[in-house]
């Protein structure tokens, strides 16, 4: 089955391909020839995931899914949440976001945080949602080279390593997106 993953993010595409284990022919927006930025104007993860999947479905008429992820930090009243990509400003880098987070969290004792992912799947015109979450804490310094985004400063509960120090397999087994993807895969398997 061919499915388009509505993302330009090569890291995410790689993660998803690893979780699916080659069972599905998953292609991303570059493969589809869609280079434009897809609007993400909702103030919820679910709304953004749906908006991205609908955009691709309506423009290209293909079965597709899209994800949206947010990092919610308890001491920051749930910020940056749905605005995690643009936390340090429009067109900021992953490093800008990490540095801003370390600065905002400087001196804070409550370091609890969670990543949440919502996936919207549009299959034969029907829409389905899948959610995943991982709890953990914000570290006081960036550690590790792997992954992307906030990985160097997020340590999942029950582990001594940041996401950026874990292998892709270990991260995928417990991560927000991994868990949401596992639900998507179960659903596809049951069709």
Residues taking part in catalysis:
68
In the bound complex, what is the minimum distance in angstroms from residue 132's beta carbon to ligand IMP?
Answer: 10
In the bound complex, what is the minimum distance in angstroms from residue 190's beta carbon to ligand IMP?
Answer: 25
The interface mask with ligand IMP, positions 56-75, x = CB under 6 A, is -----------xxx-x----
In the bound complex, what is the minimum distance in angstroms from residue 106's beta carbon to ligand IMP?
Answer: 20
Q: Does 151 bind ligand IMP (CB under 6 A)?
A: yes
Could you tell me which stretch among 29-37, 102-110, 145-153, 182-190 binds ligand IMP (CB under 6 A)? 145-153
User: Given candidates 84, 113, 156, 181, which one binds ligand IMP under the rule CB under 6 A?
Assistant: 84
End-to-end CA distance of the chain: 11
Q: HEC profile for the chain?
A: CEEEECCCCHHHHHHHHHHHCCCCEEEEHHHHCCCCCCCCCCCCHHHHHHHHHHHHHHHHCCCEEEEEEEEEEHHHCCCEECCHHHCCCCCCCHHHHHHHHHHHCCCCCCCEEEEEEEEEEEECCEEEEEEEEEEEEECCCCCCCCCCCCHHHEEECCCCCCHHHCCHHHHHHHCHHHHHHHHHHHHHHCC
Task: Give the chain's radius of gyration (CA, Å).
Answer: 16
Could you tell me which stretch among 23-31, 124-132, 143-151, 179-187 binds ligand IMP (CB under 6 A)? 143-151
* Spatial separation of the C-alpha atoms in residues 191 and 181, rounded to whole Å: 16
Residue with smaller CB distance to ligand IMP, 28 or 69: 69
Could you tell me which stretch among 21-29, 125-133, 141-149, 180-188 binds ligand IMP (CB under 6 A)? 141-149
User: Given candidates 147, 156, 162, 172, which one binds ligand IMP under the rule CB under 6 A?
Assistant: 147
Q: Does 97 bind ligand IMP (CB under 6 A)?
A: yes
Which residues bind to ligand IMP, rule: CB under 6 A? 67-69, 71, 84-85, 94, 97, 147-151, 163, 175, 177
């Amino acid at each position: 089955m061919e499915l388009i993953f509505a993302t330009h993010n090569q890291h995410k595409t790689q993660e998803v391909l690893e979780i699916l284990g080659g069972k599905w022919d998953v292609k991303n927006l570059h493969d589809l020839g869609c280079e434009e930025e897809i609007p993400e104007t909702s103030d919820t993860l679910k709304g953004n995931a749906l908006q991205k999947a609908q955009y691709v479905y309506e423009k290209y008429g293909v079965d597709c899914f899209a994800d949206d992820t947010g990092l919610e930090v308890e001491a920051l009243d749930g910020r940056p949440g749905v605005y995690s990509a643009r936390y340090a400003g429009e067109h900021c880098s992953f490093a800008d976001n990490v540095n801003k987070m370390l600065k905002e969290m400087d001196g804070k004792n409550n370091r609890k945080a969670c990543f949440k992912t919502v996936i919207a799947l549009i299959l034969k015109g029907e829409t389905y949602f899948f959610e995943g979450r991982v709890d953990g804490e914000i570290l006081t310094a960036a550690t590790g080279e792997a992954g992307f985004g906030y990985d160097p400063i997020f340590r999942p509960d029950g582990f001594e390593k940041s996401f950026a120090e874990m292998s892709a397999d270990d991260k995928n087994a417990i991560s927000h997106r991994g868990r949401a993807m596992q639900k998507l895969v179960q659903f596809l398997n049951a069709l």
